Amino acid sequence: MGGIVTKKILKQGVELVLTAQRVIYIPSIDALVLSDMHVGKSGHFQKYGIPIAKNVLLNDLRRLQNCIEHFFPKKVIVVGDLFHANYNSDLETFRQWLQHFSTLEFVLVRGNHDRLPNSLYQKLNLIVFNERWQLRDLEFVHDTENHQFEEQKITFSGHIHPGVFLKGKGRQRIKLPCFVETNNEIILPAFSEFTGLNTKFERENAKYFAFTKDRIIEL
């Protein structure tokens, strides 16, 4: 896998490193942040006879490993929907993958799909928060629909799977995932590539950071 494509932004005095690998690195807390990994989604489809390649999850894990080996963080924070469904073969693959990173803290702020029994979270050695987690002036939640934002705090969320359409010459159009920045919020793209994109999502006075595999574009 190639190098990590990054774009640094400064938000309320906090440096954030956006990546084309669908994660954010926050140097001040030495953490990677991602959302909507949906481990188990391909296994869920396979269980019901829908042919989905096994390498969907493996490619996602390889991309995350590349980010871990690039930034060497102390924490990996998932703002919801780390998992997709009930226990299946994908979760066993994920469990084995996690064993390579036993010194890392993996923090999960539960999303609407994270419905596994607590015993499984413990087996995977995850630190789990049900609705939100606050660390210094940073808040981590899955869905901000009913969230009360606080001034001077940056909220990181997912759930939306944001994307944008870019128009080229003629009738060329391309759909890309993106990060969304508002006054006090960063919405992350879905980490898993096996997800749809919500190109109809809009926030007032927002900045959009769309990306390809080798470039990040501010819109």
Q: What is the pLDDT of residues 76-113, one digit of tens each?
A: 999 999 997 777 788 999 999 999 999 999 999 999 98
Token readout for 169 is 């010459």
Query: Which band of pLDDT confidence, cut at 50, 70 and 90, is reported for residue 204?
Result: confident
Task: Tell whether pTM > 0.95.
Answer: no
CATH 1.10.3470 fits domain 6-161 = no
d(Cα 26, Cα 167) in Å, to the nearest integer? 32
Query: Do 182 and 147 contact (CB within 8 A), yes or no?
Result: no
Query: Do 206 and 36 contact (CB within 8 A), yes or no?
Result: no
Query: Do 54 and 40 contact (CB within 8 A), yes or no?
Result: no
Residues 138-191: tens digit of each pLDDT = 999 999 998 988 888 999 999 999 999 988 776 778 999 999 999 999 999 999
d(Cα 123, Cα 98) in Å, to the nearest integer? 11
Domains of the chain by residue range: 6-161
Query: Which band of pLDDT confidence, cut at 50, 70 and 90, is reported for residue 42?
Result: low
User: What is the average pLDDT value for the chain, to the nearest integer?
Assistant: 90
Residues with Cβ within 8 Å of residue 32, at least 6 apart in sequence: 23, 24, 25, 26, 67, 68, 71, 73, 75, 76, 77
